[in-house]
Amino acid sequence: MSSQSWDFIAKLVCIGDSGCGKSSLTIRLCEGRFVAHHDVTIGVEFGSRIVPVGPPHAKPSPPRLAPREPSPPTSASSSSAPAPNGLPDPPRKAPAKTVSAAAAGPQRYMKLSLWDTAGQETYKSVTRSYFRGASGALLVFDLSRKQTFQHVTDWLNDLRQIAEPDIVVVLVGNKADLAQEAGDGNNKREVTREEAEEWARRNGVLEYVETSAKSGENVENAFMRVAERIYQNIQAGKYDLNDRRSGVKGPSAGGSRQVKLTNEASRGSATGCC
């Protein structure tokens, strides 16, 4: 049993046509496993994951030091204590990243409350009601079925009519394992990366990411892109953290709690998320 605290809660919705793998993406993120055959989602299913947001999570690589050229001892160096090899220690200077990391403060964590919605037309009127109060969305289509890509515009229009104006949206082309570029005849791709990226630019979507719930490729990256942008919006003061309609809760609304995680959930909440 382990515990982890969170500073913010954000509501994310997974939307798109039925059979695109929305539930598989959620399960892969929250539980770290792949379900080959998943029952059709009726209404909505839920999941959660605690992830690090903001600095110092993205730590820069340590700079490579150039080899030191030997130099004749000077009067200043002769006064230093000699090292075992007979040369004085070089002057030491605190690296700049130490100062910036300290200035950034402690690592912040966000609990993603994931709402996996039904994609069938039968449930669409019910599904729309779950868009309220969402601060982020993964708009998912199946790379091997172009029809699901053609429907993302309708899904985005529905989302923007109901959700908050600042909702963060990432377009996700799922089932990348079926769309490999290898010339083995098994490539089932029906949507090119170029046309998906162009659609994302044209419709004001944050980013386009190709994922595979089966292999786990880019799954965490897709969710983390949404989480990081939400955190940036929090820092910019775009949300009222006391207003449930904003889709984000902060410390004043019950954040920074200690959350007890089972061993399985703890694995799902690992901080190595990208």
Is the bond preceding 67 in cis, omega lying within 30 degrees of 0? Answer: no
What pLDDT, on the 0 to 100 scale, is given for residue 229? Answer: 96
Residue 181 backbone zone (phi > 0: left; psi -120 to 50: alpha; other: beta): alpha
The structure tokens listed for 146 are 């172009």
pTM above 0.95, yes or no: no
What pLDDT, on the 0 to 100 scale, is given for residue 124? Answer: 62
What pLDDT, on the 0 to 100 scale, is given for residue 2? Answer: 43
Cβ–Cβ under 8 Å, residues 244 and 135:
no
Task: Give the pLDDT confidence of 114-147 residue by residue, as tens digits.
Answer: 998 875 555 566 677 888 889 999 999 999 999 9
Q: How many CB atoms lie within 10 A of CB 208?
A: 20
Residues of the chain with pLDDT under 70: 1-4, 37-43, 58-104, 119-126, 181-185, 252-274
3 state SS of 32:
coil
What pLDDT, on the 0 to 100 scale, is given for residue 166? Answer: 87
What pLDDT, on the 0 to 100 scale, is given for residue 61? Answer: 44
- What's the sign of the alpha-carbon dihedral 143, 147, 152, 155? negative
3 state SS of 76:
helix
List the alpha helices (DSSP H) in the chain.
22-31, 75-78, 96-104, 124-129, 146-150, 152-162, 193-202, 219-235, 263-268
**Amino acid at residue number 27:** I
In CATH terms, the superfamily for domain 2-53+97-268 is: P-loop containing nucleotide triphosphate hydrolases (3.40.50.300)
Distance CA 195, CA 56 (A): 35
